[in-house]
Amino acid sequence: MAVQHVGSLLMISLHGYVAGSPELGKPDTGGQVVFVLELAKRFSRLGYRVDVMTRRFEDQPGEDEINDNLKIIRVPFGGREFIRKEDMHDWYGDFITNALAYIRKRKLQYDVINSHYWDAGVSGQKIAEELQIPHIHTPHSLGWWKQHDMAGADPQEIAGYRFEERIRREFVLYRSCDHVIATSEQQVDLIAEQYELPRDHITMIPPGIDEGRFTPATPDMVRRARERLGMTEKDIYIVGRAAENKGYDLAIHAMAHLKALQPEARLVLAAGANSDSDVALLDQYKSIAADIGVDDRIDWRGYVEDKDLADCYRAPGVFALPSRYEPFGMTAVEAMACGTPTVMTIHGGLYEQIEFGRHALVADPKRPEEFAAVLNMPLQYPWMRETLSVEGARFARRAFGWTGIARRTINLFEHFRGRYDAYKAEDLTSPAA
């Protein structure tokens, strides 16, 4: 069945540094920013006019025109300084007011609003109600899940996440919006069970990857990448923001067990640090490595330039995702697509979609001996490495290509398009109008 054109779409993603070429690794600028921008680009390729609305701060321009169909609009609120995502909703009233003023002044019209993360969701719902258009929300992560997974952590750290307020607002948001897009089956279950939302109000559509960029490479290309990046086939590679939930310390503890199985193995840890708290967290991890005697087996790297990302996935022997909590794990899919054997966490939704031993491997990073043993498998056995390399890349490309994901999402939008047209017609013909 041919996909009908939505026409015009407003995507809202408030936190982080949203741009045509985002500065990945900066605070709150990671997988979600990639998700939103790649999806928006595919929508625009399919002929839709797409505005991505975000927050304007620091010295950012008011607009970025990515192509004729895609624009990033930055709405100022909350001052000029960076605001972390846990505090963004303190300012959502100002965002709603300024966003609606922007839309009405320019007489912009949208068929659907698609919001991302709960800060944008609360705001997007109010804007959708004002404009009388459908609102589809993508949570990315869930307050209940993150709070549950952080049980036992430092009380002061937990307080900074403001879970009680977040979960309460999520509960209302999921009932108010027209539909929720979950990114894994596990997330569908949690929304249905913990937020008591009917399952027919939820659709699972996973994130995607750039299937033209993240591809396997020839042996010569891999060899040159290893020489240039200083990696070997015995390296375990991890990349992401410096954050507690990413589980870098869990991987460090696993190295204490892996060194007995693979004396040449190293952990290449590319963790972007952009704040004093990020640096302090990495210093804490370096202290752990020294205490357990693996500091000489860790190559500490910072922010990875976007142009190097695919080669960084291709160069190591194994890619690892050791997160304590990970709604999806896009980096793992990108590594699989590049043909690198991947070990992912059981504390997330992605592992339920793969076949163990064929597409990827899974383990519990909170059990360091188990995680080390599974990391060792593709390093130890060539047949395992070859199977994961070929089948993992094939699976990632077929299941998570962005164009296919965009078409699935558009079909969902089309189901809700025009839902409130009768209300708008009543507004126009009422005496007050």
Cβ pair 122, 169 in contact under 8 A = yes
In a shared domain, residues 30 and 175: yes
Give me the pLDDT at residue 156, please.
72
Whether residue 159 is contained in a domain is answered as yes
In a shared domain, residues 259 and 329: yes
Give me the pLDDT at residue 425, please.
63
In a shared domain, residues 21 and 135: yes
Cβ pair 359, 398 in contact under 8 A = no
Whether residue 319 is contained in a domain is answered as yes
Domain residue limits at 420 = 8-208+402-429
Whether residue 213 is contained in a domain is answered as no
Whether residue 302 is contained in a domain is answered as yes
In a shared domain, residues 20 and 144: yes
Whether residue 100 is contained in a domain is answered as yes
In a shared domain, residues 81 and 142: yes
Q: Are strands 63-67 and 70-76 parallel, antiparallel or unpaired?
A: antiparallel
In a shared domain, residues 191 and 321: no
In a shared domain, residues 319 and 329: yes
CATH number of the domain residue 343 falls in: 3.40.50.2000
Alpha-carbon gap, residue 286 to 280, rounded angstroms? 10
In a shared domain, residues 123 and 200: yes
Question: 134-144: per-residue pLDDT in tens?
Answer: 999 999 989 89
Domains: count for the chain:
2
In a shared domain, residues 190 and 232: no
In a shared domain, residues 174 and 267: no
Question: 324-376: per-residue pLDDT in tens?
Answer: 877 678 899 999 999 999 999 998 778 888 899 999 999 999 999 999 999 99
Structure tokens at 400: 């998570």
- Taking the complete model, does pTM exceed 0.75, yes or no? no
Structure tokens at 154: 């430092």
Alpha-carbon gap, residue 432 to 429, rounded angstroms? 8
Residue 113: beta bridge partners?
A: 10, 135
DSSP 354: S
pLDDT value at 223 more than 80: yes
Whether residue 170 is contained in a domain is answered as yes
Whether residue 2 is contained in a domain is answered as no
In a shared domain, residues 396 and 411: no
Cβ pair 38, 409 in contact under 8 A = no
Residue 218, by phi and psi: left (phi above 0), alpha (psi -120 to 50) or beta? beta
Q: How close are the terminal C-alpha atoms of the chain, in Å? A: 40
**Listing from the earlier edge strand, what are the strands of the sheet with 112-116?**
63-67, 70-76, 49-56, 8-12, 112-116, 135-138, 179-182, 202-204
Beta strands (DSSP E) in 77-186 are 112-116, 135-138, 179-182
In a shared domain, residues 199 and 259: no
Whether residue 214 is contained in a domain is answered as no
Lowest mean pLDDT among 23-27, 44-48, 135-139: 23-27
